[in-house]
Structure formats: structure tokens, C-alpha cells
Amino acid sequence: MLQRPFTTTGRACAPAPLLLTLPGIDNSGPDHWQSLWERDQADFRRVDLGDWALPQRAQWVARLEAAIASASRPVILVAHSLGCHAAAWWSAQGSARTTCVAGALLVAPPDVEDAPIDARLCGFGPVARQRLAFPSLLVASRNDPYTRFGQARRMARIWGSQLIDAGPMGHINAASGLKDWPYGLFLLRRLIASITPAPTPLLADGAAAYFAQRQTPSGAPR
């Protein structure tokens, strides 16, 4: 269970981001870490991407655009599997709303090019070739049946994502036995901390100006 809202210590004045979860094919079930995070934290919202069983790239991208357009605060995308490619293709289309997305956690994106394990993935190929318009972490497993680690590294390089080696964790889903996946929560908090603006000091640079004004031309205090 999450212990506290997704705010950064000392930065309470900044609005908490809206965390949009993007599942993959067949949606994320009740034991998936995405579902558990949504259950335990009010700032998470699942995006209804449309047909989960027969995913259509254009539909998923359009649904994501609509979800971001309706957000009233900065957005962080929390994607798993094919949801990662939906995020990448959305960014690649050059939406004016890319500035609304502060960052993304991309977990276990599958291979959509080289004989994908599931034919339904082919509609999202090839891999979107544009660098993402926002900071991102790409988390990859060493024994993911849906992609080779080398291919995950290639996607991270193309998208400009920081690659996180999760070790042998399968497809990093409910079948991996992760429950609420504490390490994933750690990575998400780290991402949020890295993109949250530092708090402005009470006086900031104005303090120097104030005390300068308190000096006489000779430099003696008034």
C-alpha cells in the first residue's frame, strides 16, 4: 500500500501530478501493480484506451490525447507493455499538449517489430522513432518473453529514456508475483522528484536587493 501522496518533501506548494496509467493488451487485472496503485492512491487514473483485446494504434493514441486534454494539472504517464508504445506514438504525433506531460514511467515495452510474440502487437510497429517530448524511465526485464533486453535498450535509446535494468522479472506484471511492486513505486517517486521544480526561497534574490537598499551611498547602514 502506498504510504503517502505523490508529493515531494519541501515542495507542498506544487500541485500533485495526475498519474495516468496505460495498460497493455487485455488491460491490467486486479492483481496487476497498476491496479493496486490505482486502488491505494487517489492521484491515479486509468485511461480507457478503447478495445483492449484488439488494440488499434490510432484509437489508443486518440484516447490518450483526450485524457491528457481533460487533465487540470501536470500529467505523468505510467505505462505497461503496449501502453508504452501508445505513449511513444502519442508523443511522436507532435500534439500541442506534450507540454502537459511532465514525465513517463515506461515498463516492459514489447517488441512490435521482430516477430512479436502476439500478432496483435504488430499494429503498433514499427517503434516510434522520435525522442519523447518529456523525461522518462524505461524499465526492462532480463527475461521478458515479449522482448529481448537488447531491444529494450534500443527503444530506450530511440526515445531518450533512462534505461532501468530490473533483472529477471518476466514481463513485470501480475504473473511476476510483484504485488504492488515497491521498486516500481521507488522509481516513480524518483522520477517525480527529478522533474518537480525546486521551491522558491521566501525572499529569493529579492533579499539581496532589500538589504542593498538599506545601505547609504557610503555603505553604512541607515
| Residue 13 resides in a domain | no
Could you tell me the pLDDT band of residue 116, with boundaries at 50, 70 and 90?
confident
pLDDT in tens, 14-67: 678 999 999 999 999 999 999 999 999 999 999 999 999 999 999 999 999 999
Could you tell me the pLDDT band of residue 202, with boundaries at 50, 70 and 90?
low
Q: Which residue has the higher pLDDT, 203 or 135?
A: 135
Is the CB of residue 74 less than 8 Å from the CB of residue 100?
yes
CA distance 178 to 95: 34
Domain containing residue 23: CATH number: 3.40.50.1820
pLDDT for the residue numbered 154: 98
Model confidence at 222: pLDDT above 50? no
Q: Which residue has the higher pLDDT, 103 or 199?
A: 103
Model confidence at 219: pLDDT above 70? no
- Looking at the structure of the chain, the number of domains it has is 1
| Residue 8 resides in a domain | no
| Residue 6 resides in a domain | no
- The grid coordinates listed for 4 are 503517502
| Residue 82 resides in a domain | yes
E strand or H helix that includes residue 183: helix 182-195
pLDDT for the residue numbered 192: 95
Model confidence at 208: pLDDT above 90? no
pLDDT in tens, 71-89: 999 999 999 999 999 999 9
pLDDT in tens, 155-179: 999 999 999 999 999 999 999 999 9
| Residue 218 resides in a domain | no
Please enumerate in sequence order all residues whose Cβ is within 8 A of that of 59, keeping only pairs 6 or more positions apart, or say none: 49, 50, 51
Strand order in the sheet with 136-140: 44-46, 18-22, 75-80, 101-107, 136-140, 162-165
Please enumerate in sequence order all residues whose Cβ is within 8 A of that of 122, keeping only pairs 6 or more positions apart, or say none: 112, 116
| Residue 190 resides in a domain | yes
Residue range(s) defining the domain that contains residue 147: 18-213
pLDDT for the residue numbered 216: 45
Please enumerate in sequence order all residues whose Cβ is within 8 A of that of 160, keeping only pairs 6 or more positions apart, or say none: 131, 132, 136
| Residue 221 resides in a domain | no
| Residue 148 resides in a domain | yes
CA distance 76 to 154: 23
pLDDT for the residue numbered 198: 60
Q: Which residue has the higher pLDDT, 39 or 218?
A: 39
The overall average pLDDT reported for the chain is 88
pLDDT for the residue numbered 9: 40
Could you tell me the pLDDT band of residue 196, with boundaries at 50, 70 and 90?
confident
Model confidence at 106: pLDDT above 90? yes
Could you tell me the pLDDT band of residue 115, with boundaries at 50, 70 and 90?
confident
CA distance 37 to 31: 10
